[in-house]
Amino acid sequence: MEFKFPRTFGQNEARESLRQTLTQGRFPHALLVHGEPGLGQHALLLDLAQILACESKTERACGKCFPCKAFESASLESVHYLIPLVKKEKAKDSDDEESDLNSAQIEELSGLIKVWHEEPYAFGVEEKAKVHVAQTSELLGRLGYAGDRSKVRIVLIPYLEDLVPAAANKLLKTLEEPAANVYFLIASDNRAALLPTLLSRCLHLGLTPLSSAEFRETAATLSSRIGIPLSVRLLPFAEGSPGVYLDLLNNGGEDLLEESAKFLAAITASDWRVFADYTGQGSAVEDLEESTRLLHFLLRCIRLYQSLKAAHSNLSQALKNEGWDASLSNYLTPLEHIADLPAFATYLQTAFQAIKGYSKPQIALLGLFLEYDAKVHR
C-alpha cells in the first residue's frame, strides 16, 4: 500500500513515521499534530483524513473512490469538524438541555470548512473563537448513533486549545473509550495550554520548520497559488513556516516591513521628539489591531537579526551567506544600536500589551518609551 500526502509540504520525518504506523496497522485512535503555527498541521490533518477514509486497496488517498471524491468537496458525512466559532449559542431554555448549533453557527462552520479545504495553509480562526459545548454534544450524538460501526469515522480538531472547558471534558470521556473505527485527528499550536489528561490520550507528532530549500520552493508554489508574486524580502521572517509566509504575503507583510523600519529608526534615535513625531504621523501604533501586527513583526525582526548575527558578525555578509535579500540589512541595522535585545523584546511586548486599554494608544506608547529610554540611558 502506498500512502500519499498531496497537501503537505516538507515534513518528511513526520510522513515517514505516519507511513509506518499506517502500514503496520497501528494508527492511533487519537493523533495530536503540534508545532509552531503554519508548519502544515492543517494540511496534514486533511491528508490523513482522506487516507483513512479512502477505500482503495493499492494507494491512499486514491482521489477516485466515493469517499475520496466526497472528502475533496468537503461533504463526506463520516467526517466531523470541531472548529472554533466566533458565533455564540443562544441562551439555553433550561440548564439540563443543551441547545443545538444555531443557524448562524452552522453557516460559520461551513464557511470555515470550505476555507480549510481550499487552502489549508491559509486556514485559521479568530483569536476569540471557541469550540462550544453544543458542538461536542452534536459530535457525541453522531458517534453514539449505532449506524454502521464497521465504517471509518473521523473527527477533525484543528485547534484543541480552543475548546471551552465543558467541551474539553465531554471530549475527554470519548477519548477514554473510543468507539471502533473512530479516529481523532487533532492539531494544536499551543500544546502547553492543553489538559494533561487530553495529552496523555493522544499519540504526539511534532512538525518542524522547513529546510531552506524546501521552504523557498513551497513559498513560490503558495505565492502562485494565491496569485500574488513571491516576496523575496519576506521569506526570512517566516522562519521556515509556509503558513506564516502566506499570512504575511496576504496581509500586508511588505507594509509591515516598512513600518517596522520606521518604528525602529524612531525608537533607536534615543530622542523622544523623534519618537513623538513617529507616533503622531498616522503610524501603525494609532490602531490597536495594526499595532499588534506590528509588535509581532518587530519580534520577528529581532529573532532574524539575532540568528543572522549568531552566524556572522557582519549583517550584510550573514544575509548573503543565507541567500536572503541583501536590502534587508537596511531594515535590521537599527537593531545594532540596542545593547540588550532580549530586554528590548520584553519591553516591546509589555508596552504593546499595556496600550490595549487606551483610547489613544500612541500617547501611552510614548509614555512607555520615555520610561524605557530613561532606564537604558541612566
Q: Which residues contact Zn ion (rule: CB under 5 A)?
A: 54, 56, 61-62, 65, 68
**Pair 30, 179: CB distance under 8 Å:** no
Residue 4: CB minimum distance to Zn ion, A = 10
Report how far apart, in Å, the C-alpha atoms of 92 and of each of 100, 131, 132, 232, 247 are: 10, 17, 13, 52, 38
Give whichever of 71 and 369 is closer to Zn ion, judged by the CB atom: 71
Residue 49: CB minimum distance to Zn ion, A = 12
> Rounded to the nearest 5 degrees, what angle is found at the Cα of 98, between the Cα atoms of 94 and 99?
95
Provide the 10 A C-beta neighbour count for residue 357: 9
Give whichever of 68 and 210 is closer to Zn ion, judged by the CB atom: 68
Distance in angstroms (rounded) separating the CA atoms of residues 137 and 100: 8
For 280, phi then psi, to 5°, come to -95, 5
**Pair 263, 293: CB distance under 8 Å:** no
Residue 11: CB minimum distance to Zn ion, A = 22
For 56, phi then psi, to 5°, come to -70, 150
Report how far apart, in Å, the C-alpha atoms of 317 and of each of 64, 99, 311, 326 are: 51, 61, 9, 9
Residue 76: CB minimum distance to Zn ion, A = 11
Give whichever of 4 and 87 is closer to Zn ion, judged by the CB atom: 4
Residue 17: CB minimum distance to Zn ion, A = 22
Give whichever of 13 and 55 is closer to Zn ion, judged by the CB atom: 55
Residue 229: CB minimum distance to Zn ion, A = 35
**Pair 58, 160: CB distance under 8 Å:** no
Residue 77: CB minimum distance to Zn ion, A = 15
* Residue from 170, 191, 174 nearest 182 by CA: 174
Distance in angstroms (rounded) separating the CA atoms of residues 351 and 345: 10
Give whichever of 75 and 330 is closer to Zn ion, judged by the CB atom: 75
For 166, phi then psi, to 5°, come to -65, -35
- Could you tell me where the beta strands, DSSP code E, fall in 47-133? 59-60, 79-81
Residue 2: CB minimum distance to Zn ion, A = 12
Give whichever of 79 and 335 is closer to Zn ion, judged by the CB atom: 79
Give whichever of 117 and 312 is closer to Zn ion, judged by the CB atom: 117
Give whichever of 67 and 209 is closer to Zn ion, judged by the CB atom: 67
Burial class (CB in 10 A: 0-12, 13-18, 19+), 241: buried
Helix (H, G, I), strand (E, B) or coil at 30: strand
